[in-house]
Amino acid sequence: MRYLKVLGAAATAALALTISPAQAAEKRTLCVFDIIGANGDIYNIMKDYKTAAVGMGVDFELKPYTDEKIASEDLKAGQCDAAVLTGIRGRQFNSYTGSLDSIGAIPSYDAMRTVITVLASGNPSVNQNLVSGPYEVAGVAPMGAAYLFVKDKTIDTVGELSGKSIAVLEYDSAQANMASRVGMSPVMSDITNFSGRFNNGSVDICFAPIAAYSALELYKGMQPSGGIVDYVLGQLTAQVIIRQDKFPEGFAQQSRKYMLGQFDRAMRVIENANSEVDKKWWIRIPEADKLKYDEMMREARIALTNEGVYSKDMMTLLRKVRCKEEPSRAECVNPIE
């Protein structure tokens, strides 16, 4: 009998040695929104994330989505154990990180790196904001700065925006609010049709990351006399959102550190997209007008935070990052956010 027990233990140990990390890892589904689908840059980054996740104890099956709304609904329905969504769409799962994409809040990529580093730091006071209900944010990557694409390059001041039509995302109340503040007419759109409306002339202006110039052929809508206003209206992000109870303890923190390590790779994708823009399209605006935009964005963020659209805690963090990067900003003297 004793011999059989020893033999059984030896067989179990031998079997364990033959199990690969992927076989030992828990099977989970990761739904990835990428407007290009399985050939897109975000999806490619997540292929490597899948490989890295095995070492964190999770074996992901990746599912590409070109419709972000369906990906978010499948996450809610439990069809996805995790999803990669834009910060704007992800705001419904976590308002703290969902406020990263707020208007005019992150003026540079250096500031973006600082913010993502803070989110991946493991600081308990930060981590408590990354969990909301059954969901936890397990990583953030930059998707690039967003600008105004206009059909007429004479639209280069705040005053000239008045009376123009602009495509805004129907699920982002901040965009419609901002448009109305400067007298524009918001046209409710979604991520699948806003570019078409700009390109066929149905709207005068659209708001988009620089990657959309080639990916969504926005240069067609700017022909013959349009341009891109050279002012960063916001930073778009891709966020990994998990159903917390489906993952082993400590997974989210490991994942956040991994995604921080992908920052430079994501920046190369953004820089490549930037290099595809013909310099003739950029509309340079006077420094005095940039200061007007800064103040207008600040007032809009304060109002939207008071309305509950943006997270007060995230607005405070972003204001501190802006003031660290540029202490001479007017808002650093009177820190309301």
Quickly state the pLDDT bin for 7 (edges 50, 70, 90).
very low
Q: What is the rounded average pLDDT for all residues in the chain?
A: 91
User: Which residues neighbour 18 within 8 Å (Cβ) at sequence distance 6 or greater?
Assistant: none
Query: Quick check: 323 pLDDT over 80?
Result: yes
Nearest to 145 by CA among 233, 206, 230: 233
At residue 18, the pLDDT reads: 56
Q: What is the CATH number of domain 146-233+281-309?
A: 3.40.190.170
At residue 191, the pLDDT reads: 82
Q: What is the CATH number of domain 26-144+236-274?
A: 3.40.190.170
Q: Where in the chain is the domain with CATH 3.40.190.170?
A: 26-144+236-274, 146-233+281-309
